[in-house]
Structure 1
Amino acid sequence: MACNHHKLWRVAFLLSLLSILQTCARGDPQVPCYFILGDSLSDNGNNNALSTKAKANFKPYGIDFPLGPTGRFSNGRTIVDVTAELLGFDEYIPSFISARGRAVLKGVNYASASAGILDESGKQLGQAIPLSGQLKNYLDTFSQISKILGGGTAAHKHLNKCIFTVGIGSNDFINNYFMPSAFRTSELYTPDRFVAALIDQYSQNLQTLYKYGARKVALFGLGPIGCAPAELAWYGATPGSICVDKINDAVVRFNKRLISLVDDLNNNHKDAKFTYINILGIGTGDAKAAGFKVTNSGCCGGQTGCLPLATPCKNRDEYTFWDEFHPTDAMNVIFGNRAYKALTPTDVHPIDISTLASL
């Protein structure tokens, strides 16, 4: 098994380089637009104008990104940046707070760090734009597109061809359910009931997205957040494990229900295609076999993020975590490539993003 993981992760690195080189030579993107909803794993600056501790618009964030610190919670690209490259876009998708005029026709990023499916999640950090708020912003964009293209019918026709990715839910656990000092949800819900409540709300949100034009939708499952350095520092690893198992157990419960939701959506909306991206499975591969030497601590200092002007590690490509919660650029390349082009049948359900784009 370890040998297979070794081969898979090496292939992922080689494919990432090949795919990006091919993208640069292709010209037109594979879809006309790409819309993004999510949390800090996808945020590219929407939190910059908010009153919150969840910000990344300062060094050393962006140390390896061409534009420097932009609000991305990484040393370089996020998973959605890599996805945009692989889809053939010559520029990264703009944040909602920066998108202007006809630029919205190519897509908008609505993601907000510390945001959750539930409005309350992450609020102890300050302001955030929860999934419900991101949908309101998307509806604002829908109105803009309708005006630009001459009506709602034309807007729907345009949006039907676009890729949508949604990656959210981590903060409903690490910044809500597993934070009893600030939230009572763990007193009020069993893990199964909490997951059911999240999926019910998520389903309603996705129905709204569908109602307003989304037909090609990839849902990023939750990753191994119980292995994040911040959670290990807070709880300590479970005996016999290298992660906080109760958190990852909740992740598994959520992801199983999310797969079922994808199946339900596909059964109920024959004119659309929803798919699940198995971030947990991809993120628990044999990282060291792929060249990562440090998997249990962040490259830059701080318990909840990089400290301003901190000096990060120099061997950043050998770390899976950039800060105490978020992946490095190198790790995001792995996630993005296997989401775009699955290396194993378990990477996605039922199709990868490249197939979704071709529909």
Structure 2
Amino acid sequence: MKRVSRMPLLQQLLLLAAAGLASAEPQVPCYFVFGDSLVDNGNNNDIPSMARANYPPYGIDFPGGATGRFSNGLTTVDAISRLLGFNDYIPPYATATDEKLLTGVNFASAAAGIRDETGQQLGERISFSEQLQNYQAAVQRLVSTLGDEGTAANRLSQCIFTVGMGSNDYLNNYFMPAFYSTSRQYTPEQYADVLINQFSQQLRTLYNYGARKVAVMGVGPVGCSPNELAQHSRNGATCIERINSAVRMFNRRLVLLINQFNDLPGAQFTYINIYGIFESILRAPRANGMAVTNTGCCGVGRNNGQVTCLPFQTPCANRDEYAFWDAFHPTEAANILVGERAYSAATLFDVQPVDLRTLAQL
């Protein structure tokens, strides 16, 4: 099916700007990514997991086709990497060579969470704790490549790190009582505290292994995802407040945690308000070139449990007008908008305290 291209002018300008930046030296020597399916670019491809996207129609608009990205094209971190000036997209750790480690790798894994058990009903995944173990191994490889720990530490201190965890700890843990007991063990406030306490220890490990310029992505309004709307919304359009309310509790605590980390020597941590950025897109979709916000381009029926695109399913033709690609994950068009505002804040509420463009210069 021929694609109908209706890319908004803002996105066209962003891609042109990224192309111009790509011809120059990157603004930082390397970019490391941690996260879940929102930014996984292939680490789950060869593990026994139902959380995989290495088949069409995923990647229908990506130059490499179906690479494992849960999108029709670019993810948010792909957009960010281009804006940071990298010529190539950051590769998955699963296939990265020592040479690729010099410019950064992507450790993200679909279904992963802050908690180790999160997402286990979907099979194997690389939890954040395991992603950090992989990063520690990568640091040792960098030390061997560069010759000594001091040189490696100096390089890592200049790199950008983005961390986006927590969505699955809600959707594939707390709000899935048939598989997990956390909602019976903790109130939403208590659960947010438990998550933040563990996340704090994990981020400290990242800091202890050389990360200094760290952007932590808050959890988005996952109660507005097509899957949750299909299952729980009376009209198929009103977001699920009990889910979004719990997420906001986590995000508020995360902002405080980021402020605490900035008291550490050399630390330059920042919070990216993914919730606010994506909510603004959903509130004013047409202003952002979107027309459909309550269903995925691959479609999710009100009474079915479809979560990801079916293999070789025919997606919508006007996917640039959709906020969601499948039942959970944004389209390339939405990812570009989010990536642009993370890189260069459009409002004072997008980041705290600085955007990625400023973080790169610090």
TM-score computed with the length of structure 1 as normaliser: 0.94
Q: 1:109 aligns with which of 106, 109, 113?
A: 106
- Contact residue 217 and residue 273 of structure 1 kept, 8 A: yes
Cα 1:89–1:304 change in 2 (3 A) is same
* Paired positions, count: 347
Q: Which residue does 1:7 correspond to in 2? A: none
Q: Which residue does 1:249 correspond to in 2? A: 245
Q: 1:86 aligns with which of 61, 83, 86?
A: 83
Q: Which moves more between the two structures, 12-21 or 140-149?
A: 12-21
- Contact residue 39 and residue 69 of structure 2 kept, 8 A: yes
Q: Distance in 2 between matches of 1:75 and 1:225?
A: 19
- Contact residue 156 and residue 213 of structure 1 kept, 8 A: yes
Amino acid at match of 2:112: A
Kindly provide the CA deviation profile for residues 113-162 of structure 1, in whole angstroms up to 9, marking residues without a partner as x: 00000000010011010000000000110010000011222211110010
Amino acid at match of 1:175: N
Q: How does 1:248-327 map to 2 (within 5 A)?
A: 248-267=244-263, 269-285=264-280, 286-301=284-299, 303-327=306-330
Amino acid at match of 1:260: L
State the Cα distance separating 1:12 from its structure 2 match: 5.2
State the Cα distance separating 1:36 from its structure 2 match: 0.4
Instruction: Detail structure 1 runs of 4+ shifted over 4 Å in the superposition.
Output: none
Q: Distance in 1 between matches of 2:13 and 2:278?
A: 17
Q: Find the residue that maps to 2:111 and give its secondary structure.
A: coil
Cα 1:356–1:342 change in 2 (3 A) is same
State the Cα distance separating 1:28 from its structure 2 match: 0.8
Q: Distance in 2 between matches of 1:127 and 1:238?
A: 35
Cα 1:281–1:12 change in 2 (3 A) is farther
Q: Which residue does 2:303 correspond to in 1? A: none
State the Cα distance separating 1:19 from its structure 2 match: 2.8
Kindly provide the CA deviation profile for residues 172-191 of structure 1, in whole angstroms up to 9, marking residues without a partner as x: 00000000000000000000
Amino acid at match of 1:311: T
Q: Which residue does 2:231 correspond to in 1? A: 234
Q: Find the residue that maps to 2:109 and give its secondary structure.
A: coil
Q: Distance in 2 between matches of 1:130 and 1:234?
A: 26
Q: Distance in 1 between matches of 2:169 and 2:13?
A: 33
Q: How does 1:63-212 map to 2 (within 5 A)?
A: 63-212=60-209
Structure 1: gaps (5+ residues): 1-9
- Contact residue 98 and residue 142 of structure 2 kept, 8 A: no
State the Cα distance separating 1:58 from its structure 2 match: 0.0
State the Cα distance separating 1:238 from its structure 2 match: 8.2
Amino acid at match of 2:249: R
State the Cα distance separating 1:195 from its structure 2 match: 0.5
Q: Find the residue that maps to 2:271 and give its secondary structure.
A: strand
- Contact residue 301 and residue 307 of structure 1 kept, 8 A: no
Amino acid at match of 2:308: G
Q: State the percentage of identical aligned residues.
A: 53
State the Cα distance separating 1:15 from its structure 2 match: 5.3
- Contact residue 238 and residue 244 of structure 1 kept, 8 A: no
State the Cα distance separating 1:14 from its structure 2 match: 6.1
Kindly provide the CA deviation profile for residues 241-279 of structure 1, in whole angstroms up to 9, marking residues without a partner as x: 710111100111111001000001012x13110000011
RMSD (CA atoms): 1.4
Structure 2: gaps (5+ residues): 1-7, 301-305
